[in-house]
A and B are shown apart, each in its own frame.
Chain A
Amino acid sequence: MDQPVSTDHPRRVEVPRRGAGWGKRLAPYLLSLPASVWLLLLFIVPMGVMMIQSLETCSPATGLCVMTWHWGELPSQVSLYHQQFITSLIFAAVATTIDLIISFPIAYWIAFYGGRRKNFFLIMLLVPFFVSFIIRTIVWEFILSNNGIVLTFLKHQHLVPSGFHVLGTSYAVIAGLAYNYLPFTALPLYVAIERIDRRVLDAAYDLYANRRAAFLRVILPLAIPGIFAAFLLTFIPAFGDYVNQEILGGVSNTMIGTVIQNTFLVNFDYAGGASLSVVLLAVSLVGIWLYARLLGSRTIEEYL
């Protein structure tokens, strides 16, 4: 929502100052110039360069690229790696769904029953963020490894067969994604539920709604924007993630992020990597565009 821009104080208008009009008119541009230039040169321009690069042919040995209008690169990369795209989509969707299911009740509880300790509980939700992303993932590798504490205990109790393993499977990757991105889901949900007017809920109960009806017809519909924000903020990073897959996964469940990273940093195939990134960006943009269409782009700020 726009803050009303207050009109000039009458007394200031009466005293004409040379240059003041220009200064005032230029003020918004001068204030926004440094940040806009930074974002233009290092966010927008690189995206353009990437799109151009996806049409070039690069020499892996020298890293030099020549424009060849190689339109075939995009479809050939997609057909080569469509399996990894599908894997990423599935993993990210499953992890996001798990996160939504796990975090809805806790977000609800903190918002409705948190009381004075709300801030404390919110910090507990954010607690994973106080440990480096890489270290968090490595610790999960420890926990899930064959002689790590969980499997050792379970095998000792004969709850799982001795050949049972988690590391390297798709389950491990999804578990890692779900853990690492849980706060991204929980916070937007909390913000959305926090905002629900308790009186609306009381009205529903006064009108003889049972708990189920009150939840399905009052809380859930009012939390929809938060659910959508949570989905976007969790799904997109999880979709492009490769750290969880590289550390917790095996060779059979490669995600597209891993492929892009290797194409750039191991094979130095900039054209191929750029093509894959363009596709990844395009898929993400569908979600981003849908979000902006349905909720407006400004709303995302409320959920950060």
Chain B
Amino acid sequence: MSAEVKAPRDVNPARERLLARRRRLGRYVLPTYSWLVIAYLVFPIAIMIAYSFNKVFTGLQLVSFSWNGFTTEWYRQWSNVPGLTSAFWLSIRLALVSTVLATVLGTLLAIALVRYRSNKFRGRVAIEQVLFLNIAAPEIVMGASLLGLFVTFNIARGFLTLVLAHVMFSIAYVTVTVRARLSGFDRSLEEAAYDLGANPLTTFRLVTLPLIMPGVLAGALMAFALSIDDFVTSNFVSGSNPPFPVWVYGATRVGIPPQVFVFGTGIFAIGIGFALMSIVLSRRET
């Protein structure tokens, strides 16, 4: 590291020893420790994947704690549990709808917050504080208060209430993500477009949007991930057709079918695939 650049005038043996120890710490102790932590983080996922291949002997077709032998049966019969499959598709639809809505609303808000200071934008400070509160507030309180709202105003719980809730908790994350990418934005590009006679809408479509697209996509991915994994809020605002996590939670009381782990493995594979792909792509760019 940079510590190797040392001034020739000062050869201090104590300092040399220290640097050597520092290097040892960086070379052996910390990496070993870090890989152990990573192993700890990965361990339950490995177990999940392993148990998705576990044979089941009981007639109920529920996962058991003991290992009964290898089978790919559950992958072949992945859609055999009707409630689980419909819950999964509901989650996918819910995530897609709320991602689109939250991304549009969050991006517009991010543009407003980056472009206009409080003297031209009254209420800006209040909005920022609401965003902060929204991120920091405990989810159970948001879920419980939404349930209270829906009950008070007699709104039937179902897909609509789920979308309302998911967009609500995703907006702040999208705004924050998009804003981070927007702050390095070169306004002179837009001014060039204006000078060339473009109206604001054309400028936005042809100049601004393509430039902020990476940030918008990152925000959308975040919203999708938040939505598909959400349990606490969804549990309060879903009706008789629960999304995937709520269904799985309900199933824990009677026992879970092995297909849950098949879905879990599938979602994990897709997610990690996307993440690794983004690393490879970002490496190619630089």
Which residues of chain A have C-beta atoms less than 8 A from B132's C-beta?
A: 288, 292, 297-298, 300
Given contacts A301-B176, A304-B176, contact A130 B139 (CB under 8 A): no
Restricting to A107-154, which residues have a CB under 8 Å from any CB of B?
Answer: 108-110, 112-113, 119-121, 123-136, 138-143, 145, 147-149
Query: Shortest Cβ distance from B276 into chain A, in angstroms?
Result: 7
Given contacts A2-B117, A5-B115, A292-B132, contact A205 B18 (CB under 8 A): yes
| Contact mask for chain B residues 267-286; partner A; CB cutoff 8 A; 1 contact, 0 none | 11001100110010011000
- Whether, in the assembled complex, B261 has its beta carbon less than 8 Å from a beta carbon of chain A, the answer is yes
Is A121 within 8 A of B115, CB to CB?
no
Given contacts A44-B130, A102-B37, A142-B51, contact A260 B140 (CB under 8 A): yes
Stretch at the interface among A46-54, A78-86, A216-224: A46-54
Question: Count the B residues whose beta carbon is within 8 Å of the partner chain — how many?
Answer: 118
Query: Shortest Cβ distance from B134 into chain A, in angstroms?
Result: 6
Stretch at the interface among A24-32, A68-76, A156-164: A24-32
Point out the residue from B43, B48, B232, B275 that lies within 8 Å of A123, measured CB to CB: B275
Which residues of chain B have C-beta atoms less than 8 A from A134's C-beta?
A: 231, 245, 248-249, 252
- Whether, in the assembled complex, B84 has its beta carbon less than 8 Å from a beta carbon of chain A, the answer is no
Q: In the assembly, what is the distance between CA of A281 and CA of B133, in Å?
A: 11
- Whether, in the assembled complex, A3 has its beta carbon less than 8 Å from a beta carbon of chain B, the answer is yes
Is B120 within 8 A of A288, CB to CB?
no
Which residues of chain A have C-beta atoms less than 8 A from B188's C-beta?
A: 6
Nearest-neighbor residue (CB-CB) of A210 within chain B: B18
Point out the residue from A106, A132, A140, A233 that lies within 8 Å of B248, measured CB to CB: A132
| Contact mask for chain B residues 1-34; partner A; CB cutoff 8 A; 1 contact, 0 none | 1110001001010110011011001100011011
Query: Shortest Cβ distance from B114 into chain A, in angstroms?
Result: 5
Q: In the assembly, what is the distance between CA of A31 and CA of B113, in Å?
A: 9
Query: Shortest Cβ distance from A149 into chain B, in angstroms?
Result: 8
Most chain B beta-carbon contacts within 10 A, residue among A135, A210, A281: A135
Most chain B beta-carbon contacts within 10 A, residue among A43, A45, A129: A43
Point out the residue from A148, A239, A264 that lies within 8 Å of B138, measured CB to CB: A239
Restricting to A241-273, which residues have a CB under 8 Å from any CB of B?
Answer: 241-243, 247, 257, 260-261, 264-265, 270, 273
Is B145 within 8 A of A304, CB to CB?
no
Query: Shortest Cβ distance from B198 into chain A, in angstroms?
Result: 12
Given contacts A31-B109, A131-B268, contact A110 B34 (CB under 8 A): yes
Q: In the assembly, what is the distance between CA of A100 and CA of B283, in Å?
A: 30
Q: In the assembly, what is the distance between CA of A28 and CA of B272, in Å?
A: 38
- Whether, in the assembled complex, A165 has its beta carbon less than 8 Å from a beta carbon of chain B, the answer is no
Binding site for B on A (CB under 8 A): 1-3, 5-6, 9, 11-12, 23, 25, 27-29, 31-32, 34-36, 38-39, 42-47, 49-50, 53, 63, 65, 102-103, 105-106, 108-110, 112-113, 119-121, 123-136, 138-143, 145, 147-149, 179, 182, 198-199, 201-202, 205-206, 208, 210-211, 232-233, 236-237, 239-243, 247, 257, 260-261, 264-265, 270, 273-274, 277, 280-281, 284, 288, 291-292, 297-298, 300-301, 304
- 14 example contacts (A-B, Cβ-Cβ < 8 A) are as follows A25-B120, A27-B115, A28-B121, A39-B168, A39-B172, A109-B30, A113-B31, A127-B42, A135-B264, A138-B256, A277-B140, A288-B136, A288-B137, A298-B132
Besides the contacts A28-B115, A198-B3, A281-B141, what 7 more A-B pairs have beta carbons closer than 8 Å? Answer: A27-B115, A39-B130, A102-B37, A132-B231, A240-B140, A260-B144, A297-B129
